[in-house]
Amino acid sequence: MYDTNQRASYVADLQEFLAADPHAVLGALSGNAEGDVAAAQMGAWKQQIDLLQTALPAGIEGVICFEFVIPRIGKRADNILLIGDQIIVLEFKVGATGYDSDAKTQAIDYALDLKNFHLGSHDALVVPVLVATQAPFVLSTLAAPFDGVYPAVLANAQTLACVLLAITAHAQAPPLMHSDWLLSGYRPTPTIVEASQVLYRGHSVAEITHSEAGADNLGATTDAVARAIDLARSQNEKIICLISGVPGAGKTLAGLNLVCERRRSDQGDVEHAVFLSGNGPLVMVLQEALARDDVAQTAARGERLTKSDAHRKAVSFIQNIHHFRDEYLKDLSAPPDRVVVFDEAQRAWNKAQTSKFMRQKRNLPDFDASEPEFLISVMDRHVGWAAIVCLVGGGQEINTGEAGIEEWLRAVRDHFPHWHVYLPSQLESSDYLPTFKLEDLSGQVTRSSALHLSVSLRSFRAERVSAGVAALMSGDRDTARAEMTGVLATFPIVITRSLHSAKRWLRERARGSERYGLLASSGAKRIKPLGIHMDVQIDPCNWFLNGAADVRSSYYLEDAASEFDVQGLELDWTAVLWDADLIHQSEGWRFRSFKGTRWQDIRDEDAKRYRLNAYRVLLTRARQGMVIVVPQGSVLDPTRHPSTYDPTWLFLLSVGLPTLD
């Protein structure tokens, strides 16, 4: 038997398993299960044991695992076989009379999860097998693997032995070191949708990440903020904590985790805490995802929860910051929440933008405060303690009037000197504070390196993408080429002039439930001849959450999401359409806006920065790979002339990005 770090309910050498009494194996599975085991589950295990002991070739060497935990997905693979250099993932559907597409997707997802996130599986060949015991015979050949993962193989009770024999015939030396594999680090990187659902169910960040994907860093940050909040509560003071982090470090995850932990407070009363974001699409997608999952989880327990009730619960957990703001323009009392987490706090509006909005949209001509100043003032209404947690990033402003982090600090300095500020030591950089001097806050500042998330939680493929994209957006050919060399070693990026070819590439690459979609800048007004209308607003919930059969989903590749739709969210595979709103020239980037019937150069420096950041966002949304489409243009259309697009195409070629065509 093996020390498996409790990843599986039963692990044994294949010869040991083949010789074992089936009842002893069943007893081990039952004894290691959580809670009572239903009779149906016991029956399924019994059939699996009998089938495998019959189907596995005599004399075969390797290891078998039952109920292997897949933390990111939150489920267990029925069986894992380690044979030679191969990992065979078996998904049993005992009694099934057909090969259900969802079950096939599940088997592929398990295989991909191992390949992508389990360190011991990165260099192995992984074969997903769906075993529908009563399904009809199908001829299922072992096709060529892509990126180390084979297409799904189908088997029934009678054909399983032949299928396993065919697969294991391809096993080669050197075999996997079984003990090392079982103890290998597991570094899952859940999407923010997956993570929010797991946290909302009552699990912790450590459970999501299996304590191996930067969870130490994430846990240290959460603990540092929790200590600051507890101190504020005990001393009856008001604090503002800033959390910074490298791209992909999980700032939003840290905020969601903090809100969940405070709402589960073991103190005398349940502590009110809420997660606020000005990112409307992110809020809508997370609210909808939580509501759908809550309904499904409730139904699985044999109970009933209406979608409207589930949605109301989700809204109390995560809200749009602008709805929160408008509520407390009318209601002058303190909010019920003592702890508020502001996601993407650098996107809060400055005084000019807020005053303009209040004057034009809310009929408040005398409103004279920035958004951070007003939001702090709302929490300042509390008698006694209160805590604001700001999740901040540098260089991510993409909209007119976004003030950056400095506006929060200016508000504290000028209007709320009694508030204590906790901030990461790493914040003292021009990326975060181009003009503000922290000395102006002397006496009310506590610095802590624990408030900076320094470990990327992105997939092992995407770890270097942010640096590569930053180099690309600098416009410097040599710097971009050097960075892209490292990126391309693990993360596929290709370029093409054909949208049709890009769509085919996405469909061929994505497997299992991996999500793919089209992205384009909100300023990409002349990709309309390609059938992509950026003036038509997508429904983010349908686009991000619905399945491949829904024409409104990202899978259909009919609607492109803009930088506003996808900031804070990710897909596995993306196609980014690069229009003439950002053109590379010998002297650097040229920024343009389409007005009426022609392109106009952008002169405003802030507007230029927003456009550059828009492409930075679009080019960092993929978890697994990306294709960039630079249209050919048309000599018949002066707004799409090839001479407009060609320089950008040549720049992307020159930095080493391979062509698809």
Residue range 394-409, pLDDT digits in tens: 555 455 556 678 889 9
Transcribe 23-35 into DSSP letters.
Answer: HHHHHHHHHHSSS
H-only helix segments in 520-635: 540-545, 563-566, 605-618
**Helix 371-379 vs helix 406-415: angle between axes, to the nearest 10 degrees?**
60
| pLDDT score recorded for residue 290 | 92
Least confident of 5-14, 152-161, 454-463: 454-463
Binned at pLDDT 50, 70 and 90, residue 262 comes out as confident
| pLDDT score recorded for residue 212 | 46
Residue labelled with tokens 């370029």: 495
**C-alpha distance from residue 643 to each of 3, 361, 627, 653 (Å):** 63, 42, 22, 16
**C-alpha distance from residue 429 to each of 314, 432, 435, 615 (Å):** 36, 6, 10, 23
Amino acid type, 447: R
Binned at pLDDT 50, 70 and 90, residue 211 comes out as very low
Residue range 624-648, pLDDT digits in tens: 999 999 999 999 999 999 999 999 9
Residue range 505-521, pLDDT digits in tens: 999 999 999 999 999 99
Binned at pLDDT 50, 70 and 90, residue 317 comes out as confident
> The whole model's pTM is what?
0.83
| 117/623 Cα distance (integer angstroms) | 12
Residue range 521-571, pLDDT digits in tens: 999 999 999 999 999 999 999 999 999 999 999 999 999 999 999 988 999
User: Beta-carbon neighbour count of residue 562 at 10 Å?
Assistant: 21
| 497/207 Cα distance (integer angstroms) | 43
User: How is residue 640 written in tokens?
Assistant: 């799409």
β-pairing, 588-595 with 582-585?
antiparallel
CA proximity to 90, closest of 101, 81, 100, 99: 81
User: How is residue 272 written in tokens?
Assistant: 């009110």
Least confident of 27-31, 178-182, 370-374, 576-580: 178-182
Residue labelled with tokens 């018949």: 636
| 592/589 Cα distance (integer angstroms) | 10
β-pairing, 10-13 with 582-585?
unpaired
Q: Which residue has the higher pLDDT, 348 or 158?
A: 158
Helix, strand or coil for residue 413?
A: helix
pLDDT at 460 over 60: no
Q: Which residue has the higher pLDDT, 347 or 74?
A: 347
At a CB cut-off of 8 Å and minimum separation 6, what does 620 contact? 247, 248, 465, 466, 469
Taking residues 240-255, report their average pLDDT: 83
Binned at pLDDT 50, 70 and 90, residue 1 comes out as low
| pLDDT score recorded for residue 620 | 92
Residue range 89-124, pLDDT digits in tens: 999 999 999 999 999 999 999 999 898 888 888 888
Q: Which residue has the higher pLDDT, 602 or 297?
A: 602
The per-residue pLDDT of the chain, averaged, comes to 88
Measured in Å, how far apart are the chain's first and last C-alpha atoms? 51
User: How is residue 654 written in tokens?
Assistant: 């020159």
Q: Which residue has the higher pLDDT, 595 or 7?
A: 595
DSSP state of 118: B
| 373/416 Cα distance (integer angstroms) | 9
User: How is residue 132 written in tokens?
Assistant: 């529908």
**Strand order across the 571-577 sheet:** 493-496, 622-629, 571-577, 516-520, 560-561
Peptide bond into 71 cis (omega under 30): no
Q: Which residue has the higher pLDDT, 350 or 214?
A: 350
CA proximity to 391, closest of 335, 470, 461, 318: 318
| pLDDT score recorded for residue 637 | 96
Taking the CA atoms of residue 611, residue 507, residue 515 and residue 500 in that order, the dihedral angle to the nearest 10 degrees is 20
| pLDDT score recorded for residue 213 | 43
| 440/22 Cα distance (integer angstroms) | 72
β-pairing, 386-391 with 238-245?
parallel
| pLDDT score recorded for residue 264 | 62
Binned at pLDDT 50, 70 and 90, residue 430 comes out as low
| pLDDT score recorded for residue 268 | 44
**Most confident by average pLDDT, 190-204, 211-225, 398-412, 441-455:** 441-455
Taking residues 492-515, report their average pLDDT: 96
Residue 526 gets the label, from left (phi > 0), alpha (psi -120 to 50) or beta, of: alpha
| pLDDT score recorded for residue 71 | 63
| pLDDT score recorded for residue 222 | 85
Q: Which residue has the higher pLDDT, 632 or 72?
A: 632
Give the domains, in start order, of the chain with CATH numbers: 10-182 (no CATH), 192-453 (3.40.50), 465-654 (no CATH)
Helix, strand or coil for residue 400?
A: coil
Binned at pLDDT 50, 70 and 90, residue 176 comes out as confident
CA proximity to 258, closest of 242, 244, 275, 241: 275
pLDDT at 214 over 70: no
Taking residues 208-224, report their average pLDDT: 66
